[in-house]
A and B are shown apart, each in its own frame.
Chain A
Amino acid sequence: MNGVRVGKRMIGTQAPVIVGWENIPRVEGGPIKQFVFTWFQPTVLFALIAFWYYAPNSIAKASTAIGIGIGFKVLLLALEWFFPRHESWRLTWKELTTDLFFVGLGYTILRTVETYIGDEVWIESIQHYFDADKFTWFLGMPLLLQAFLISFIFDFGQYWMHRGMHNWYPLWLPHSVHHYITQLNINKGAVGNPVELFLIGLGIGGFFDFLPRAALLAGAIGMAVGTYQHINVRFNSPRWWRFLFHTTEHHSVHHSQDFEASRSNYTNTYIFIDRIFGTCIDGEAELLGMEGGRRMSLGEQMTFPFTEGWKSLKERFARPVAVPAE
């Protein structure tokens, strides 16, 4: 495969990757379908922003956000079923079951563990040490600016955490499991080794719990943009959307079987952070995964970082074998 030069890198030499927005197929169908799949994403985003901006204090709660999040995922699952982007990514019973298993771990055991050793524990200590009131200058800013800054700071942190995972072997080991997924579906973001799911769950949200409405707005922005990372639906995202935000196309390149392509598009929400640091590739890929698209079993997903880590350690510290001189 020849590949395409993007900056100093050759993309698509190992597996097919489409580079450039002009080469990406658009939604096919009548004018109504075209209209819906062009304006669905911006409409949901602005509707959610308006809802959280104006919702009375009695409604603006985390429990409402969880309810909306579940409803939104059910709607997107229905879209995946009726309007799949690729037949080769179609959700099967087995895929749905394994995806939901990881979602379940996130809602149960990982949440429990987080209350003891998660970010909120150390954030509370930091706030106590530095005197939390110093952060309250944030309160005087307009609500939407607060919300943007919260989500931007969070995504900026996630960008470097994710980039670190692709560049430092001890972090790559737990993250690599997530890269064995061979198709994008709405719950695939939850699939990964539990160690990684714990690491990726670490955030700075706890710093802003004194701004409940801004934090909810930031969460809504993250949801209305980040959820499309893993989805088997094609949208004609407007030009400004795909310039600013991380799209399914960007994320499919990140999950491509092509090694160079997978080292791009690290953000969750704001792809312009990738643009700033030169790691953005506008394009899409259908063939995803590692080792030529080998689907990892559930057991291996749980043990892979440890077994691979052990193998690497043994190789690194193995006694050199004496080679007889000829």
Chain B
Amino acid sequence: MSPIAVDNSAIAVPTPTKGPALAIGSLSTAQNGRYQTLVTELQASRDVEKQMLDRIIDGATTLPKTQYSSVHIILAPAEYQDILPKSSSLFSQLFSALAPLGTIHLKDAPSHSQVTTELTLAGFNVLTPATTPTIMAQRPAHAPAVSLKKLPLRKKADPSAKKALWTLSTPGTPSIDSETLLTESDRARPCEPITNTGAPRRKKACKNCSCGLAELEAEELKQSKVVMLDGSESGETREVSQEERQKIINSAPKVTSSCGSCYLGDAFRCAGCPYLGLPAFKPGEKIQIDMSMDDF
């Protein structure tokens, strides 16, 4: 299963996707130039395919499946009202044209909750409140297995017959072999356990660095201010220059921290912190790193 989650926060846009986009306009937004502006904006960062709304609704064109990273619709407010009756089939077409986690953007859509409801019923995950000028929704990583309708208010059949079938058990009824229920893919284990994303992280420069990272770090260090932790005074931190730092260190060796976070604990320490693995401590407290810790 993919560890990628659906970012569902109200304002935040999911990781910008630069895959192919589909831009859908109408006669009126093409005439007033708003459609062209949208297409130009999008083209700056990705491939854009253009479509007119009528052609999709009339079935004059068939959209490819799981093709686009995003779909952008720009219509006049009145046109949004007009398409509402047909929006169910429109949205499900667009849903299947989007790649999983792809997004749909409806520009200048009226604050009409019916649009968002229709999006939800088509399987989208609505990301923006209904009142913003652009409605944004996302195709979830897990697609609903069926297209869903609202729950019927009442069950259709008389439940007693089914109840009898379910609860009355004839002694000696054979059971099915539950293993036959599984498909080949059910039997397979996930190929590789997901233990790490393997995303590159910034490393510290090696001792004999030749790639330039050491110089970069040296430059950063020169420019940086230093925070001294000083428990003997007020327990507060203060910024000093590198020069002053050396003086202070030479006169009274204390715990120093170039980021001011070391004493807060692992959660706030950087990847190269020498205190990693130790509990949080008080500023100024003398910390000893025991290198011979193995008691095996």
Task: Answer yes or no: do A and B interact.
Answer: no
